[in-house]
Amino acid sequence: HAIESTLAAIPAHLSRPRFSPARTHTHLTSLLATLLTTHRLSVTSRAPLLNLALLALLAPLFTADLGIKHAEAYTRLLTTLADPAATAVRASTATPLVSATAKAKRQAGAHLPVIVGAYVKLSLDPSSRMQLAVREELKRGLWTVFSAMGAEGRKVLGEEMDRSGRDVLRGLIGEWVRFGKWKGN
């Protein structure tokens, strides 16, 4: 119950911050990172709440209020989910025919496309004021998600979008193929 409450609190706090948006974002990103580090299985098994928290942390990055350090922290979250280190996951079976890391990647690939879709939608919003450095940093996290999604997942995501969304997605995937795919992502 505590994990659900914490995950649900992240969007609630971001929707009505009492402190500066930058400070609130920093603390909540750090909180989610700590939850992922210490309770990975419990957090990732609550994909809808996790996605709500990630979406709530993504939206403020499309304002001029947040900078590169916020994008770096968010990218670390995406990377922790989509490309976990072997030490970050544990095998749940005695005979690991499929590595725990591969299983965690597959699970992330199943629920993180929502984040990519939100990124594309927010990118198309004319009121978006994201800094160029923030955009470039977030691409690294999206590239990690693309790797976890697989070709079929990327295809399905593109089919769910309108023409302008597909154009943005195609551009992101093209950059990933040219620059990110071969750099460990």
- The arithmetic mean of pLDDT across residues 69-89, rounded, is 84
Whole-prediction pTM: 0.86
- The CA-based diameter of the chain, rounded to the nearest angstrom, is 52
Percentage of residues of the chain with pLDDT beyond 70? 89
- The arithmetic mean of pLDDT across residues 144-152, rounded, is 91
Mind giving me the DSSP string for 126-159? TT----HHHHHHHHHHHHHHHHHHHHHHHHHHHH
Q: What is the pLDDT of residues 12-69, one digit of tens each?
A: 888 876 778 888 999 999 999 999 888 888 888 888 999 999 999 999 999 888 999 9
Q: What is the pLDDT of residues 23-36, one digit of tens each?
A: 899 999 999 999 98
| Residue 93 confidence class, pLDDT cut points 50, 70, 90 | very low
Q: CA 57 to CA 62: how far, in whole Å?
A: 10
| Domain ranges for the chain | 2-180
